[in-house]
Structures are given as C-alpha cells and as structure tokens.
Structure 1
C-alpha cells in the first residue's frame, strides 16, 4: 500500500530527475552546483527522503526552469510530500488523521478530479447540514466541538471549486445517493438543490447512474482519480476504506479506473437528464 506523501515524494523525484536530464547535468554536477553531496540529490530523485520547497526552488533555479506554474506546483508538491510545507488543513492536524490530510493536499493541488460515489454526496458538493449528518453518523459519539471542526474542514475543502483556476470536477453518482435520506427531509431538500446548482458550474460535469442501468463496473465501491497539470505521470487513484486510504499509481491501475469511469459515463444519464432526475427526486417522484 502506498500512502499520499510517499507517492508524491517519488513522483516529485521523478519530475526533478527529468528536469535535470533536460539540462544535461549529472547528479554529481547538480550537487556540486548547490554545494550538496551527490547522495542528497539521489535520495530526492528516488523519493527516499523529503525535500523542502526551498530546496526545490534551488534545484529549479539550477535547471533554468522558468515556467511559473510548474515551479509553483512543484514547490507546493514538496510541501505536501513531507518536505516541511503547510496548507490550511495543517491547522487541523490534531483533529484529522494523516490519511485525510494527505487526501486534502492531493485535492488542493490537482487540476482535475473524476469521482464515482455510490452511497453519499461527494464531500466537495455537500451542504453544511448534510456534512454534519454524515460526519455524526460515521463517527458516533463525537463531541460537538470536534463535529463542528470536521464540518468546517469539509466546507473549507470546497474552496478548490471557487478558486481562480478551479478544480475541473467530473462526477458520476448512483441514484441511491439522491434517494438515501441523510439528516432528514429538510437537509436532503437543501442538498438536492445545492447539487442542482453545482451541476451548472462550468467546471463541474455531473451525471447520474439511474437504477434502471442495472449493475455496473463501479458498483463495488467509490473512487477518485486525481490528475495534475504540467507534471508527467502524476495521476493517482484513491480508494477510501474505513480506517485508511489506498493510493494506486501504476499505469495499469490508472488505465483500468479511467476506463471504468468512461464506461460509467457512457451508461449514465446526460448532464441535462441528470438535472431532471435530481429535480424529480426533490419533488418526491
């Protein structure tokens, strides 16, 4: 099992090695330029150790990388891969487990996400009332203060949909997500209205898999595929379990899940008909 920081350390190392090769430098020459031991460059490139955003900046300077967006992304990647950086979620590190922080950091850096949900509304599309009901039921006995903070985290994550360069989100939802009453009728009405609104955002592509579609390839469980701009081979599939998350990065895994997602999109309702279904469920049809 690979965890988020380990995946990102290795991917970051691969990208830095590729940039070094482009300059024609050997690892020994790069280390000499920076006043480092060659072993430090090697550990960074193999993902054996973390690297600080400051050291990534120095490497990019040495490799004459002037792409501002690429530099920003690699520096942020270093921070979330165990290199000493911080994100807004670190303020909650005493409350949320490491695997959840890993997931949020991936989500915050991704350019696009494809997600299948079979049971609940995805976190990025939940209302406060729905998020509270889901969190309360999944973490029974949680003190009110902690519950409030976890809902706060869930809502803060949604900032990626309203950023200047928002996350491109493609969602396939099982019809059961709409019909499973979470938090009571009023909470569900508000949630369905919110889904209908979110589905009309230009960077959100939402499709519903109706019951009449029968069994389908993703029925066994939800997943998320994160894609990242300007970095080769960084896409990752995340499978959530009760106590941990599994990160899949092998090319064959990515191809299999990407193919499965395309198949489900082909069998799902169009975005327009999906909006009709949301409206029908909201009316009680």
Structure 2
C-alpha cells in the first residue's frame, strides 16, 4: 500500500504559490489581471497561490513577466520549483476513479498541521474502519460503483488515514453528534468494531474525539458537516471544506473561514469533554455488543 511520503508534492506547491502571491501583491497586480494573463479565472490563481493547483512552466514565465521579475536566477529557481511542484500526489494513480473534487480534498488535508472536523451523520473517513467504510461507500457515496472501484476506494481510504500517524501527523479534533455513534451502519458487529476503534485511537490533544449528546438539544452544528484545515506557513490561508450531494465546496476567504472557525468553537463548547465522550462511546459500544 503506498503511503504519503515526506516531503509531499503539495508542500512545494504551497511554497511556490505563496511566493507567487507575494510577488503579485508587491507588483500591485489584481488576481483577475493575473488570471487573464494565463487564460484562467480568479479561482485558478487562488488555487495556485494556495498550493492546490500546480503552475506550469509557461504560466510561471507569463506571471513572472507580469509581476516585473527580471532577476534571471530568481525566475529560474521559481520555474524549477513550480515544475517540481507539479509532481502528483499518491492519489494520482487512482485518478480514473476519484472525482477531481475529492482529489482536491486529499491535497488540502495532506499538508495541514491541524484539522477540525464536525460530523453530525457519519464517522469521518479518516476514522472509519474498513468494514464501516465499505458500508458507507456502497450505501451512500458510490451506490453504482463496480467491485473494482470499491476496492480502489477502500484502498484510498486506508492510505488516506496514514496522515494521522507518525511524527508529522496533524492535530485532529473531531466533534461528532451522538447520532453518529448511535446510528446503526452495517449492523451491530460493524458498529461495535467502529466504536472500539474510536476509543483505541483517541489520544488528546493529538487526536481528540468529542461527542455532542442528545441532551444538548440545539447546537451550532445543525446546519451540517464541515472541516477546517490549518497550515504551518502563516501566509497560507485556512481552508473550509463543505460537502454536498454531488461534490464539495472549499472556502478560503477570511470572512467565511472565520465564521466556520467560530462555529466550530461553539460546537466544541457544546460537546462533552474528551473523557466523558469516550464514556458515551463506550456505552453505545456495549449496547451494540448486546445485539451481536
């Protein structure tokens, strides 16, 4: 099974992107003008500057000229870095199965130093057992997928979870509505193993799992699931991920990101502390075990 290697390609893309953003701002060039120069749109410049999309050699040359960069050594260095940054991540080998939006999420989460996740419906993919993941893929995510596609998606999910292991693992804070651990997905045995895994991997503050109990009633997360990704470079913008039926939305502008960060703070304040949350998960686990 391939594993995300360090340094990851997106690390270099982010460094290149942040430098191109610095040069653009220093030159007083608007995103729209830069986009027009390379035949794209404002969102493409945003993706490139945040390391979510590579910059081709021709695009790099055009942008550096637009930004007035005449130092040949600097131009050569940035073009070389841009070319190396276009190397694909481990998930590229599954590109014929994975939607572009999901590949974008893998790129976003692969370099984060902190991930804040709220999920009111299902255990997040990063924490799923193989059995739970298979039920989720077959029943919700890819109902019409072939057996070969399902095998690929399970392999991707397993490899994706590697980012939570080792010294380079991001801090991961996951808040679940109690419905997640009470809703039967795949039967009592599948649920019991999934809840056992949540208990086993809980390791605050590196990996924190908290539960919002039913008794809380209304809380700030009732509008739906979301994740917030934070990066090591202070120049990198945080990213918010919102899923919907046919894809995903990524927010990077300060206003929306700050609102979701505030919402997560409110959601976490409504949740039980980590130790109490594990006790609630243990209680749900016992209920499922009785039915096996």
Listed one character per residue, the Cα deviations across residues 158-214 of structure 1 (whole Å, up to 9, x for unaligned) are 010013310111111000000011111111111000001121265112110000010
Residues 11, 234 of structure 1: 8 Å contact kept: no
Instruction: Name 1:225's counterpart in structure 2.
Output: 228
Instruction: Name 2:190's counterpart in structure 1.
Output: 187
Aligned counterparts of 1:100 and 1:182: Cα–Cα separation in 2: 23
The counterpart of 1:154, out of the listed 139, 152, 157, is 157
| 2:246 corresponds to 1:256 | no
Listed one character per residue, the Cα deviations across residues 68-117 of structure 1 (whole Å, up to 9, x for unaligned) are xxx9xxx69984xxxx3201100100011100100011011111110100
| 2:194 corresponds to 1:196 | no
> What is the aligned residue count?
249
Gaps of 5+ in 2: 1-12, 29-36, 49-53
Instruction: Name 1:172's counterpart in structure 2.
Output: 175
Moved more, 227-236 or 88-97: 227-236
Listed one character per residue, the Cα deviations across residues 4-54 of structure 1 (whole Å, up to 9, x for unaligned) are xxxxx9996454342688xxx869xxxxxxxxxxx78xx99x82874259x
Instruction: Name 1:62's counterpart in structure 2.
Output: 74
Aligned counterparts of 1:282 and 1:76: Cα–Cα separation in 2: 49
Q: Secondary structure at the match of 1:283?
A: helix
Aligned counterparts of 2:83 and 2:198: Cα–Cα separation in 1: 31
Instruction: Name 2:20's counterpart in structure 1.
Output: 16
Moved more, 10-19 or 147-156: 10-19
Aligned counterparts of 2:280 and 2:97: Cα–Cα separation in 1: 37
What TM-score comes out, normalization by structure 1 length? 0.76
Instruction: Name 1:235's counterpart in structure 2.
Output: 238
The counterpart of 1:117, out of the listed 103, 108, 119, is 119
Instruction: Name 1:94's counterpart in structure 2.
Output: 96
Instruction: Name 2:45's counterpart in structure 1.
Output: 47
Instruction: Name 1:3's counterpart in structure 2.
Output: none
Q: Secondary structure at the match of 2:277?
A: helix
Q: Secondary structure at the match of 1:47?
A: helix
Go from structure 1 to structure 2 and tell me whether the alpha carbon gap of 1:201 and 1:262 turns closer, same or farther (over 3 Å shift): closer
Query: Offset at 1:250?
Result: 1.5
RMSD of aligned C-alpha atoms?
3.6
Aligned counterparts of 1:128 and 1:76: Cα–Cα separation in 2: 37
Go from structure 1 to structure 2 and tell me whether the alpha carbon gap of 1:113 and 1:76 turns closer, same or farther (over 3 Å shift): farther
Residues 12, 77 of structure 1: 8 Å contact kept: no
Q: Secondary structure at the match of 2:195?
A: helix
Query: Offset at 1:225?
Result: 0.5
Go from structure 1 to structure 2 and tell me whether the alpha carbon gap of 1:149 and 1:94 turns closer, same or farther (over 3 Å shift): same
Aligned counterparts of 2:149 and 2:133: Cα–Cα separation in 1: 13
Q: Secondary structure at the match of 1:220?
A: coil
Aligned counterparts of 1:77 and 1:12: Cα–Cα separation in 2: 10
Gaps of 5+ in 1: 1-8, 28-38, 66-70
What TM-score comes out, normalization by structure 2 length? 0.74
